[in-house]
Amino acid sequence: MRTWRPAILGLLAAAILATLYYATRTTERITLLPQPDGSPSAVVVQSKTGSTAVLERPYSVATVTPIRIGSSQTDEAAVRARYKDTLDALPARPRSYTLYFRSGGTGLTPESERFLPVMLKVLVELNERPASELTLIGHADEVGSDALNDELSRQRAMIVAALFKARGIDTSRATIVGRGSRDPLVAAKKGVSEERNRRVEIRLK
């Protein structure tokens, strides 16, 4: 009566081992990529058994199987080497920058003048990608008439386009728009000077 037990136990052991083998071979990798603007981000990864891993640093990795989850850290070079074809196939991420202007004219604020070389370096690299779209949207604050602000906001956008062209960025197909004071970043009453509304938005995608 007991001679069947070793055979049954052997079959059970084989089934368990096969299940464990299959489970550990079904592996998913989740890699946290950095945000385009460098802002922090995180993601929580959970396995079927309920174990979790929190990815909080750029290029941190969760390795997930049906029975366990692990985490590790890699770097940009390793991710690009492993997923080169996938990353190359992705559309370029849109980029957005803002330059601010002195009151009543087309001169940049000191802070924007210091930021300009860094922004131009990034835009030169991005503008080399095929079919990139550049949009420049000029804005004004509530000082002055609507007609004056419409013209001033467009002049600011044109000034930025000229700066880009001088640096070798193709602006021949750029969309250049002056919005006057119609889209304030900060709400302000008529006649009130507000630096954050005197701006040009630069969008590249």
Give pLDDT tens digits for 110-146.
Answer: 999 999 988 888 777 766 666 678 899 999 999 999 9
What is the domain range of residue 178? 95-204
Residues 57 and 123 in one domain: no
Identify the domain boundary among 37, 60, 89.
89
Beta bridge partners of 72: 61
Residue 21 lies in a domain: no
Please state the separation of Cα 95 from the chain's center in Å.
Answer: 7
Query: 59 and 138 share a domain?
Result: no
* pLDDT at 9 > cutoff 70: no
Note whether residue 11 is domain-resident.
no
Considering the domain architecture, whether residues 85 and 185 belong to the same structural domain is answered as: no
Q: Are 186 and 197 in contact, with CB atoms under 8 Å apart?
A: yes
User: 50-73: per-residue pLDDT in tens?
Assistant: 788 888 888 888 888 777 788 889
138 and 181 share one domain? yes
Residues 81 and 107 occupy one common structural domain: no
Sequence-distant (6+) residues with CB within 8 A of 134 are 127, 164, 169, 170, 171, 173, 174, 175, 202, 203, 204
39 and 101 share one domain: no
Spatial CB neighbours of 163, under 8 Å, sequence gap ≥ 6: 116, 120
d(CA 73, CA 164): 38
On average, the pLDDT of the chain sits at: 81
| Same-domain status, 153 and 63 | no
The DSSP code sequence of 106-168 is SPBPHHHHHHHHHHHHHHHHHHTSTT--EEEEE---SSS-HHHHHHHHHHHHHHHHHHHHHTT
pLDDT at 107 over 90: yes
pTM: 0.58
Residues 42 and 117 grouped into a single domain: no
Domain check: are 133 and 185 in the same one?
yes
**Residue at 194 is within a domain:** yes
Rounded mean pLDDT, 9-29: 55
pLDDT at position 50:
75
Q: What is the CATH number of the domain that holds 123?
A: 3.30.1330.60
Domain count, the chain: 2
118 and 164 fall within a common domain: yes
Q: Are residues 141 and 59 in the same domain?
A: no
